[in-house]
Amino acid sequence: MERIEHRACFGGWQDVYRHRSEVLGCDMTVGVYFPPQAEKGPCPVLYWLSGLTCTEQNFITKAGAQRYAAEHGIILVAPDTSPRGNDVADAEGYDLGKGAGFYVNATQEPWAKHYRMYDYIVDELPAWVEADPAASDARAISGHSMGGHGALTIALKNPGRYRSVSAFSPIVAPSQVPWGEKALAAYLGPDRAAWAQYDATELVKSATEKLPILIDQGQADEFLDAQLRPQLFQAACEAVDHPLLLRMQPGYDHSYYFIASFIGEHIAHHAAALRA
Ligand SMILES: N[C@@H](CCC(=O)N[C@@H](CSC=O)C(=O)NCC(=O)O)C(=O)O
């Protein structure tokens, strides 16, 4: 493990690490923000999953989350969005391959060898983070777009593992939209039954834990109707009485300006659960 960035930020430290991932079979970069409270004892951790085309840099440089993490004493962990390296498979286009891991364990060639982002986020990354005495095992998860899909599906599939979950502009029904159909077909094959295990709108129907979900969605989001379709998830939640607060925010698009505008409220939402 190597620390490759170390910058003072709101009384704490914004670091970036490179570490070996055995699950992914490559080196990975991860942004970790340590709030000032981490110098005095273990702090809870919010895992942030970024969207298509992102690395760890997008969130740590654009969201402005560190100010709120410092207020609430929360460690922020922002991993890269796919395996990386010259021997890792890739594809034309921004929505498949590197930068587009979709937080699944691929079963199809040429992806299966490295594209195991689900196991990386659920198991390997927390084990690495929590080996640091500054981090406790109280976890929350959030993300944006493809990362919102990751946060929702991972929380729904792992009852008891996360104290809270939220998402910005998530892909809530990947089996029903072009981004998801392309990625799930490539990574999991043509059998749509396999896709359901990574589709929040399907998973919520049988969720055993009623973890309240906070979603913010911009009404001026350029991907809203074609790729995101939050109403599909809202209807599924209503059908099974799963607690969901879906906030449609007038004027906001899909960008990090939107995330920066509401990240403080999301971190307060997570802090209430993590510090309860
Ligand atoms: N038009 C873009 C499409 C990629 C894009 O918008 N990526 C979003 C996430 S979309 C869903 O996962 C993003 O977070 N971009 C990084 C940023 O800093 O804004 C393109 O063609 O690249």
Domain spans of the chain, in order of start: 2-274
pLDDT digits (tens, 9 = 90+) for 135-173: 999 999 999 999 999 999 999 999 999 999 999 999 999
Residue in the block written with tokens 């760890």: 56
The pLDDT, as a whole number, for residue 271 is: 98
- Examine the pLDDT at 276 and tell me if it is beyond 90: no
The ligand 1 atom at the shortest distance from the C-alpha of residue 169 is: 11
> What are the start-end ranges of the E strands in the chain?
2-9, 12-21, 26-34, 43-49, 75-79, 135-143, 164-168, 213-218, 244-249
CA dist 166 and 241 (Å) reads 17
- Mean pLDDT over residues 27-50, rounded? 98
Mean pLDDT throughout 183-200? 98
**Residue 171 to residue 63: CA distance in whole angstroms:** 19
Tokens standing for residue 85: 């390296």
pLDDT, tens digit, 9 for 90 and up, residues 222-260? 999 999 999 999 999 999 999 999 999 999 999 999 999
Angle value at C-alpha 203, between 202 and 204, nearest 5 degrees: 95
What average pLDDT does the segment 43-47 reach? Answer: 98
pLDDT of residue 52: 98
φ/ψ region of 10 (left if φ > 0, alpha if ψ in -120 to 50, else beta) reads: left
CA of 145 to the centre of ligand 1 (A): 9
Q: What residue's CA is closest to ligand 1, atom 7?
A: 52
- When the pLDDT of each residue in the chain is averaged and rounded to a whole number, the result is 98
Q: What is the CATH number of domain 2-274?
A: 3.40.50.1820
Mean pLDDT confidence for 201-211: 98
Residues catalogued as catalytic: 145, 221, 254
CA atoms within 13 A on the CB side of 25: 11
Q: ipTM, 2 decimals?
A: 0.95
What pTM did the predictor assign?
0.98
Ligand 1 pocket test: which of 53, 92, 153, 255 has the largest number of ligand atoms within 8 Å of its C-beta?
Answer: 53
Beta bridge partners of 31: 16, 78
Residue nearest to atom 21 of ligand 1 (CA): 94
Q: Is 275 left (phi over 0), alpha (psi -120 to 50) or beta?
A: alpha
What is the pLDDT at residue 226?
98
- Share above pLDDT 90 across residues of the chain, in percent, rounded to a whole number: 99
Query: Over the stretch 3-26, which tens digit does the pLDDT of each residue have?
Result: 999 999 999 999 999 999 999 999
Can you tell me the mean pLDDT for 98-119?
98
Q: Tell which atom from ligand 1 comes closest to the C-alpha of 51.
A: 12
Q: What share of the chain is helix, strand, coil (3-state, %, to 5)?
A: 40, 25, 35
Amino acid 208 reads T
Residues with C-beta less than 6 Å from any ligand 1 atom: 51-54, 58, 62, 94, 144-146, 254-256
Q: What is the pLDDT of residue 275?
A: 84
Span 180-200, average pLDDT: 98
pLDDT at 190: 98
Task: Give the position, in ligand 1's atom list, of the atom nearest the Cα of 149.
Answer: 12
